[in-house]
Structure 1
């Protein structure tokens, strides 16, 4: 990924856009810190539905799937039911 300063990105926007389309995402920095990434529209359209998915949709999807290993639950630290 190529890095552009804000000054260069503004002055050479057409070149930034062409590079993005041909080579992929381009990083824009401001005062030495990462500020934004310009992404080709095809890549944005693939990512956008995931960005707006509900928690249920994310948990049921295969995107970024991680199988969690849950520990077995013992009975030692359970609270007793008490009556007032």
Structure 2
């Protein structure tokens, strides 16, 4: 794990390690901030996520619950203007 200042000072080493297949974590103010990884690894992860992701319509259709569940009927109250 690198601090932000160390990662800036030794950016070539961060990139070389990421290209060697070792994602590099960088912290800012002691908290995890970013991960540097190779472009090939990023593309692999992006493609894997796209394969597992369905369409928005399929997401809605797979929503838990009964599709024909009765809806509550709410009647508005009377308002005097």
Paired residues, what number? 65
The alpha carbon displacement at 1:55 in A equals 4.1
- Normalising by structure 1, report the TM-score: 0.57
Unaligned runs of 5+ in 1: 60-69
Alignment correspondent of 1:15:
13
Unaligned runs of 5+ in 2: 59-63, 74-81
Q: Distance in 1 between matches of 2:46 and 2:54?
A: 15
* C-alpha RMSD of matched pairs (Å): 3.6
Q: Distance in 2 between matches of 1:30 and 1:55?
A: 35
1:1-84 mapped onto 2 (5 Å cutoff): 3-49=1-47, 50=49, 55-56=54-55
Displaced runs of 4+ in structure 1, greater than 2 A? 53-57
- Normalising by structure 2, report the TM-score: 0.59
The alpha carbon displacement at 1:23 in A equals 3.8
Q: Distance in 1 between matches of 2:7 and 2:20?
A: 16
Q: Distance in 1 between matches of 2:44 and 2:21?
A: 17
CA contact (8 A) 2:21 2:37 kept: no
